[in-house]
Every structure is written in structure tokens, then in C-alpha cells.
Amino acid sequence: MLIPFKKYTESSGVEIPIAKEKKDAERFWWIAALLAFIIGVWYLYWRITATFNTEDNLARWISITVYIAEIYGFLAFIFFFLQVRKGPSRIPPTLESYPTVDVIVTIFNESTEVLYRTIVCCQAMEYPEDKKKVYILDDGNRKEVKDLAERLNCIYLSRPTHEFAKAGNINYGLAHSTGEIIAIFDCDHIPVRTFLTETAGYFKDPDVAIVQTPHYFYNPDSFQRNLRLEKELSNEQDLFFRVIEPGRDYYNSSFFAGSSGLFRRKALEEIGGIQTLTITEDLHTSMVLHARGYKSVYVPRILASGLAPESFEGYLKQRKRWTRGGLQVFLLDNPLIKRGLTFWQRIQYFGAVYYFLHGIPRLIYLSAPLSFLLFGYAPLRTSFAALLSHFLPYYVTSLIAFHRVSKRLRNPFWSDVYETAMSFSITATAMATFLNPGNKKFHVTPKGLRQAVSKFNLHLVIPHLILLCLLLAGISIGFHHLFSDSQIHADAFRISIFWGIYNSLLLVAAISTASERREVRTSPRLKRMIPGEILFDNTKIPFITSDISDSGISLMLSGPQITIPLFVKIHLYGDNGERVSLTGMVMRNDIISQGEMVTVGIYFMKVSEEDRQAIIRMMFSPQYTWYSPPDASAGVCLSFLAMVISPVRLFLQEKVFHRFYPRIKREIPCEIIRNGTVNKGVIEDISYTGVRAKICGVLPLGNDIILKIYYSKNKPLSIEGRIAWIKKTKGDTLTGVHFMEHKPDLLELLKG
């Protein structure tokens, strides 16, 4: 039975019941953390008093270096737990009057397709029309972005100069807008319909300057995607937005995260706008506002969704930028000595920038076994049994405490993988920042990429490969000595071999992440339960979608396989009373679950802009869209197993869907005509719904084309089609084309 407790929240003036079990769980977190802290102090004391190698000066410095790395890890553990508290429970204050809001969407060189979805949903946000304006701030001065702004009834702004990157772009927008509240979105962050009504009310408190909502990503990050671990791993950023930011909110130090947040214009104007001293303008601006005495509010409801970097290279670019910016804050406006911050705000902000130093100790951990395996200098001198008796309790208690506090959003061992993957890149960035803290070079994180073919980004992991080879060589040497007749330094070999094997597993997992997986879809597909109907002849079949994109749907039908024609009418019914009527082409109609269910895939044909916008709103705008984000459920053993076998998963075959119609092998000359460009080729096989062809030249994904098939000497067959996939071969391109229309002559061609 739940015994309710009451907690008063100043921001909303509402008492929220809190279950006793939750209070007990929070108490257990702190007991586990305190136990880990005590054992950690005991372990570090033992390390400094009983394990240092003092054989000579070099050995002594190796021991000191490894110990300093362990001190860093212990302090990072402390800072993490100091940032973790149960944040204030809040109910959105009722909006009695509506402040004017300027919705600012920033873009530089990102895809206009990504921007399109964001703008459609920004316009769909519930708020009085005379109180809301949507601005597109284009720092790339692109005509297609300007045309899109005009088409979607937005205000387009593009500055003549481009200093201070994103911060300068936003400040330019501030100078050309007048709203009392500024809502800021990156071009890939899509708000739900109630975003403003659930956040703007917090500004009733005149001391509130920042309202931030979580970042949630509707696509897998590069680790989930490339290692094929979408179901086993949470998104790498979930820990920050669902555990750390609520804890920072307890101390009034949650900060603007660059997107999906709001500012009070008056507060921004007091500090001269978005700060430009560093390239992490979000963190720095928040700190300056807190130093002025303003409050921040973190709303732990997912009210917007965005794109995680699709590629490993994009992930590294993002982390390098965060590292440079975080260290610039430390060097140029240090929170420990900044006037106006409270004691706990200093700790919170210092903890945030302290994290960006983790690359250096991680490299020390990774390479430390080599000091003995290759050069004979043990980083610590102790027996294997003594090390286990001291390190194991420290490691296990830390693991338990972290696992409990992280709410299972960070799988055990995977923090080590993440740090290993970026360690070389951010270490180089950290060193460069210490040497030149004024460097303002800003690298935009690429979003909305399409990976037509799988590839391995060797250049990103060359240092990892070199270190892995050295470790494998050292482990081999260690085993040779360990099993030889001589047992001198046997414990040192055991420790170094065990350490080296674990580091090798981390490196292999990190290297595997550089194997980019091909992307076969041209638009995002989300799991959504949207009611609708299939109509053909005099038949009407109701359904609920399994998933949907702006180009098609999947659905499940019960009972035996239903004969559905190639072309059907589709009705979709949105939660906000919207209805969309479309023509669809059946791409898949498979029996599953021993004949009890049928899965149907339908491709939308010739979707009007009005219908496409309605589909996007159905996908992203409902306020309940992200109510129950998935959590990782893997425990210690399964997480370790997932890490170990993750490289093996790279060789798994991609799922191939069954076809609705068989493909017939035919070698027929053809041409693909796209925007006036003609690519000649040969069809290799053909069905009622499409062809596979070998084409001279390069074709982009998703393009509408005209396919001319020269099966008759009299007249070629011309069919409207769409490029579904491409694969490069020697000198040619293999491509799949979906037909966008039905031609009776196809039957004759297939029969012939």
C-alpha cells in the first residue's frame, strides 16, 4: 500500500503526493552512495600507502599518474552524486494572461527537410495567434530556406555577418523581434502542441529567467544504431536530461541546453543577450543569469523531440565542441570565483565543466597496463589477491550506487565505452583549449544525414586501433611470461593482463561504433497508434497504425491474409480532429504469428503539402506523444555481454521484408530521367511495384523520377517512380525504383 507524503512546491503553489516507496528508494540511493564514498576513500588511502612503485623515478611517476587518474574518477563520482537529487515536483501554472512569445528556430547548413517538420509543429503549438510569432534565423543565407519560410508563413531573418556562430545568430533575432518570452529550437527539435501552454506559465514568477525542457531523440544515437543495440541501450544523453538536470533544478542551477527552452527577454537584455565569450553559449548564458539572481525552472516532461547525431563523426564533432566550450567557461569565467553564484551553484557549474576533462584520465586508464606488459614498469605493486580485496568492494559499491541513481538509464560498463570512444578526440581538444582558450571556431553537429551505403570511418579510430594492437601484443607477452617456467612478477602480470583485456574490450566496442550503418529510409518512422481505414471497391477495413512516416504506414490486421489490391484509399484520423485522405500503394502484405495476423505496409502516393503537414502533426504534435519514453532494462551481466558481443552484431544481416509481388528477372534497357538529367541503364529484375536496375552515374535517395523501359521497339513504357535505395558498384550504381503509378502495359511486360 502506498502511503502518501506531501511536498510543497513554491513555483506552482501545489502540494504533490509522493509515495513512501519513492522516498525509501531515494534514501537507499544515498545510503549506497555514502557506502561507495567511504569504501572509495579507504581504497584510495590503501593505494597511496601500500601500492606505489618506487623502484626508480620513472616508475614513481607512472604510479603517480595512474593514481591522479583514479583521483579524477573518484571526484567525478562525487560531483555526479552532488548533481543528483529529486527535483521539485511541478504542475504547469495556469495561464491567466498570455505573454507574447517569439519562437526562434535556428539553422545553418542543415537539411530543409529537417527544418520543415520543426516549423510545421511550431506553427501548430496551441497559443493565441496574435501572441505568437515564428522566426527562422538562417545563418546560411540559403534561398531554399527563405522560400520555405514564406511558404509556411514564418518571419525569415538572415544576418549580413556571421560572427559568434549560433549565439550571434540568436542575438540578431533578438534585435529584430519584440516578444516578452523567447522560445528557442534547433532546426531538428520538434515541439508538441502544448509546449508553450505547459511552459510559459512559469514566467508568472518575475524572477524566472529560464525554462528548460528535456531533450529527447526519436532516432537512435550512433552507439545504438551502429552497434544495433536500439533495444538494449538508452540514448547516451538520457542520463543527463532525466537524472542530472532535475537534480540541478533542486539547487536552482539547471541550465539552458541550447534548444527546447525559453528565456525572459528582459533578463537576456540585462546581460547583453546570449553570451558570446565561449562556444557553449547555453551553459555560459545560464550561469551569468544565475549570477544575476535569476531562477531557472526545469520541466521534466518531454515536450519536444529531436535528432541525435546519426553518425559517429557527428557525435565526435558535438562532443569536441562541448569540451572546448566547457573548458572555456572554466578558463575565462570560472564558476568557482564568479560573483553572485550561491555555493551550490558554484559546485553544480564546476561539476559540469569538470566532466569535460575525462578524456585525459581515460587515456591513462587505457594505456596503463602497457607500462608493465611492454616496459616492465608496474603502475602499482601489490598482489592480485590484495588488489581484488580492495578494488572489488569499491568497484561493486560504486556500480550499485550509480546503477540505482541512474534509474537504469545508463547501462553498466557503457559509460566506459562512451568515454573510450571520444577519449582521443576530446583530449586533443582539451589540450588545444588550454593552449588557446579564445578559439571560437564552431562546428555544427550534422543532422538529418542519409547513409546510402555502410562504411567504416577508419580515420576516426586510428589511435584506438594502434592502442588496441599494443594492448594485444602486451597481453600476448604477458601470457607468455605468466605460463613460462619463471614466476617472477606473476601477480603484476595477472593484474596487467586482466586490466589489458578489459581495456581491449572497451576499445573494440568503441572502434565498432565507427562502422556506419546504412540508412534505407528517407524520412523518420515512428511507432504511433493512429486510427484509420483502408478503402477499396466496396470494402472498408478499419485499422490502427503500428508505425508511420510522412511517406507511409505499417499496420497489423487480425485474421487470415486479406486480399488487398495494389492501390487503395487511406483515411487517417488525428487526435486533434484532423482527417487525411490519401492514395496508397501496398508495398508489403505478410502473414505472421502462424497465420493469425497480417502485417501491411502502405506507401503514400503524391501527398499534397497540406496532407503532409497534417501527417507530420499526427506524428509529432500530440501532447501524449512522449509520455512513456523507453528505459533500458539490462542489468550488469547483460550489459557486459552486450558490450562484449557488440562487434559481432555488425555482421548481422539487415531485416529483409517479404514482397507483395514476385520479382521476375529481365534484362531490359532503361533510362532514368531526373530534373532533365538522363541516366542510362539496364533493368535486372522487375515486379508489378518496381524494378532493380544498374545505372550509369550517381542518383540521390528519395528523388521522384521518370523511368523509361525499352521493352518494345515501337514505344518505351514511361512510369513515374521514386528512388528507394542505391548501392554503388564498380563504375555503376545499383538502384531500386518504386512505381508511383499503375500502367496496364506492365502486365504485358511481366507476362512476356
Helices 359-367 + 462-482 axis angle, to 10:
30
Cα distance between residue 653 and residue 455, in whole Å: 15
Please indicate whether residue 139 is annotated as part of the active site.
yes
The residue type found at 209 is A
Which of 545, 647, 673 is closest to 601 using CA atoms? 545
Q: Reading across the β-sheet that carries 208-212, which strands appear in turn?
A: 155-157, 132-138, 101-107, 181-186, 261-264, 208-212, 295-298
Taking the CB of residue 456, how many other CB atoms lie within 10 A of it?
15
509 phi/psi in degrees, rounded to 5: -65, -40
Q: Which of 139, 186, 238, 416 does the annotation list as catalytic?
A: 139
**β-sheet bridge partners, residue 444:** none
Q: Which of 186, 282, 416, 611 does the annotation list as catalytic?
A: 282
Query: Are residues 182 and 262 in contact, defined by beta-carbon separation less than 8 angstroms?
Result: yes
DSSP letter for 518, please. P
Q: Give just the sign of the alpha carbon dihedral 605, 606, 611, 612.
A: positive
Contacts of 109 (CB under 8 A, 6+ apart): 140, 444
Cell of 401: 550506487
Roughly how many angstroms between the first and final C-alpha of the chain, as a whole number? 73
Q: Could you tell me the CA-to-CA distances from 549 to 125, 566, 614, 654, 700 in Å, in that order? A: 20, 19, 12, 20, 19
125-128 long-range contacts, Cβ below 8 Å, gap at least 24? 125/191, 125/192, 125/193, 125/194, 125/195, 125/196, 126/193, 126/194, 126/196, 126/197, 127/98, 127/101, 127/196, 127/197, 127/200, 128/98
Contacts of 146 (CB under 8 A, 6+ apart): 138, 156, 158
Cell of 280: 557553449
Cα distance between residue 218 and residue 235, in whole Å: 10
Q: Could you tell me the CA-to-CA distances from 139 to 119, 275, 314, 663, 707 in Å, in that order? A: 16, 17, 19, 47, 38
With b for 16 or more beta-carbon neighbours within 10 A and e for fewer, the 313-334 pattern comes to bbbbbbbbbbbbbbbbbbeebe
Query: Are residues 619 and 548 in contact, defined by beta-carbon separation less than 8 angstroms?
Result: yes
What does 84-143 look like in DSSP terms, one character per residue? --PPPP--PPP-SS---EEEEEEESSS-HHHHHHHHHHHHTS-S-GGGEEEEEEETT--H
Query: Are residues 470 and 374 in contact, defined by beta-carbon separation less than 8 angstroms?
Result: yes
The residue type found at 168 is G
The set of catalytic residues is: 139, 282
